[in-house]
Amino acid sequence: MGTVGVGLVDCHCHLSDPDFDHDLDDVLEKAKKANVVALVAVAEHSGEFEKIIQLSERYSGFVLPCLGVHPVQGLSLEDQRSVTLKVGLDFSPRFAGSDEQKEEQRQVLIRQVQLAKRLNLPLNVHSRCWRLHINLYVSKGADKVLLHAFDGRPSVAMEGVKAGYFFSIPPSIIRSNQKQKLVKQLPLTSICLETDSPALGPEKQVRNEPQNISISAEYIAQVKGISVEEVIEVTTQNALKLFPKLRHMLQK
């Protein structure tokens, strides 16, 4: 068996977004030149599932599919083929104007956690309502959890660290005091990298791309006082713990 090559893994990006429809080949080629070795392509909603699967087949060995639903949607048996599930709670007034709607979301999320455990899939979490997320996942025994773009307090994040969960850091860290404080507190062994492309880039209102993941790695290295190479090596190993199916992509 070959050894795992060291490169950057983007654990959360949206390649199916219409912003990439006209130049995705170029975007991915630039990512490869920037030492990105694998991408986890995340669906925004069930209508993107087929497109995500097609992208993972078209770019086999580079793009890993992540299917999931917004908490106001359901998840059919047909869509349980994902290699990872995107889940989350959203209690903003648009989606949860009443206690009943919040409880409905919570029940959907519980079923998703149970499904992930049964199928041995990791959870790729949109971590709005972060304290509720961590407490719920711990109480339901979820063990493979990535909290993407976590926007809570570092003290709450440490509860996730104790549970063995991972936190992915986007390039927007260079303009986010909250993300900078978070990275200072998190151990490197709990950190993964992401771009959330086309969102959360280094500049507001400018399309983000997977190649920008190096910005996350460089900033983390600066904060931790370590080399970029160490950040890449450890975060890639963390990604492999979460997404074992990435390993065959990284074999050299």
Query: What is the set of domains in the chain, with CATH numbers?
Result: 8-250 (3.20.20.140)
Contacts of 56 (CB under 8 A, 6+ apart): 41, 63, 64, 65
Could you tell me which residues are annotated as the binding site? 12, 14, 126, 148, 196
Q: Which two tokens stand for residue 56?
A: 């993972």
pLDDT, position 202: 98
Give the C-alpha distances (Å, rounded to integers) separating 78 from 114, 209, 250.
16, 30, 29
- For the purposes of burial, counting CB atoms within 10 Å of the CB of 162, is it exposed (0-12), middle (13-18) or buried (19 or more)? exposed
Which pLDDT does position 149 carry in this prediction? 84
Q: State the Cα–Cα distance between residues 35 and 31, nearest whole angstrom.
A: 7
pLDDT in the model for residue 236: 98
Tell me the Cα Rg of the chain: 17
- Report the binding-site residues for a divalent metal cation: 12, 14, 126, 148, 196
Closest CA to 135 of 121, 148, 145: 145
Tell me whether strands 191-193 and 63-68 are parallel, antiparallel or unpaired. unpaired
Contact indicator for 112, 87 with CB cutoff of 8 Å: yes
According to the 3-state scheme, what is the secondary structure of 156-225?
HHHHHHHCCCEEEECHHHHHCHHHHHHHHHCCHHHEEECCCCCCCCCCCCCCCCHHHHHHHHHHHHHHHC
pLDDT at 80: 40
Residue 87 identity: V
Tens digit of pLDDT at every position of the chain (252 positions): 444 558 999 999 999 999 999 999 999 999 999 999 999 999 888 889 999 999 999 999 999 999 876 555 544 444 444 444 455 455 444 444 567 767 777 787 888 888 888 888 899 887 655 566 788 888 888 899 999 988 889 999 999 999 999 999 999 999 999 999 999 999 999 999 999 999 999 999 999 999 999 999 999 999 999 999 999 999 999 999 999 989 888 875
d(CA 24, CA 30): 10
Distances in Å between the Cα of 42 and the Cα atoms of 132, 185, 198, 226 are 22, 27, 12, 30
Among candidate residues 148, 130, 110, 135, the one with its CA nearest the CA of residue 10: 148
Q: Residue 143: which of 127, 165, 167, 119 has the closest Cα?
A: 165
How many Cα atoms are found within 13 Å in the side-chain-facing hemisphere of 70?
Answer: 14
